[in-house]
Amino acid sequence: MASLVQGVYVMERDRQWNRHGHDARAPAWWRFFHFEVREVLVDAADSSIFGAVYAFQPPWHLLDPAAAAAASAPHYVVAFRGTITKKASASRDLALDLQLVRNGLDRTSRFHAAMRTVHAVVAAAGHQHHHRVWLAGHSLGSAISTLAAKSMARAGVALPTFLFNAPFPSAPVERIGDRRVRQGVRIANSFVTAAAATLLHHGSGGGGYDAFAALARWVPNVFVNPGDPISAEYVGYFDHRKKMEDIGAGAVGRVATRNSVKDLLLGIGTAGGCEPLHLFPSAVLTVNRGASPDFKAAHGIHQWWRPDLALECAAHYY
């Protein structure tokens, strides 16, 4: 999946550098894995390529429907790139990053275009095969994938989703060196968050809880690096749930895990508001524990196909 997301990055770079035909470098990223591009997603605001719809074209020995590989493979993958800081796309991408922090990405034209495409691809796949439509994204693209997947999950369609270095807009507690200090900060934050949620949701009928619980059957695959300040907090977010259970504060932890103080104060997650983007009921969390000397290495999409990956994987269910 990471290679297909990289294919979108390279398509946009090909566009910026006017590389066409045999000079284009993007096709190698999907053809090696037997995919072809069915649709290219272009942002109307700046004409940049931000996503693509890939169709799996298996080789002849995988065409047998009974083959295990064919049975588990996607029919389509909708992939979204993250921010590119080159001149031709930086302005639009950074503006969307700001909307992401403000939890307003769902109101942007790029997301609306992405959502229309996801609906169309799911419809083309058919009701019995919607699980063969996969979503993937990196960084900003992960946020778009998350919004689309949550929307589909609430409609009863749980799409397999692969999120690489998904943004977690919160204080980077995971980067505090002392484990006991990290735990203390998280425990205190959980009690503050639960108290704020109880006060602000009073009389709302528990709508925020129902909306969050409705997502539990959607289990995204989340890939993070503890050295990445943008995504690292997912490590603590999921581990902290068990810690709260262990100290007898599971009820507080369950309230805190579906809320954030910042978003509560902004009216996000309350009755009538949209849910905070970065909060997941369930996930399969994969953590890259390999050496990452700088931000580029820790946040970059390229880390996910390195041959020396040191991965830890755990499933978390709500």
pTM tops 0.75, yes or no? yes
Q: Do 150 and 132 share a structural domain?
A: yes
Q: What is the largest CA-CA distance in the chain?
A: 62
Q: Do 7 and 155 share a structural domain?
A: yes
Q: Do 127 and 20 share a structural domain?
A: yes
Lowest-confidence region among 25-29, 210-214, 251-255, 300-304: 251-255
Q: Do 159 and 178 share a structural domain?
A: no
Lowest-confidence region among 88-97, 104-113, 250-259: 250-259
Q: Do 204 and 63 share a structural domain?
A: no
Domain with 199, as residue range(s), is 173-293+302-316
DSSP letter (8 states) at residue 131: G
Q: Do 287 and 229 share a structural domain?
A: yes
The last residue of a domain, from among 137, 164, 191 = 164
pLDDT in tens, 142-152: 999 999 999 99
Q: How many domains does the chain have?
A: 2
Q: Do 155 and 32 share a structural domain?
A: yes
- Please name the amino acid found at residue 40: V
Q: Do 198 and 266 share a structural domain?
A: yes
The last residue of a domain, from among 164, 182, 208 = 164
- State the first-to-last Cα distance of the chain, in angstroms, to the nearest integer: 25
Q: Do 232 and 137 share a structural domain?
A: no
pLDDT in tens, 124-140: 988 778 889 999 999 99
Other beta carbons less than 10 A from residue 246's beta carbon: 10
Give the model's confidence band at 181: pLDDT under 50 very low, under 70 low, under 90 confident, else very high.
Answer: confident
> How far apart are alpha carbons 106 and 100 in whole angstroms?
8
Q: Do 180 and 150 share a structural domain?
A: no
pLDDT, position 72: 76
Q: Do 276 and 136 share a structural domain?
A: no
Q: 243: which 2 tokens? A: 């810690």
272 has pLDDT over 50 = no
pLDDT in tens, 7-55: 999 999 999 999 999 999 999 999 999 999 999 999 999 999 999 999 9
Q: Do 148 and 17 share a structural domain?
A: yes
262 has pLDDT over 70 = no
> How far apart are alpha carbons 137 and 148 in whole angstroms?
11
Q: Residues 190-203, buried b or exposed e (16+ Cβ, 10 A)?
A: beebbebbeebbee
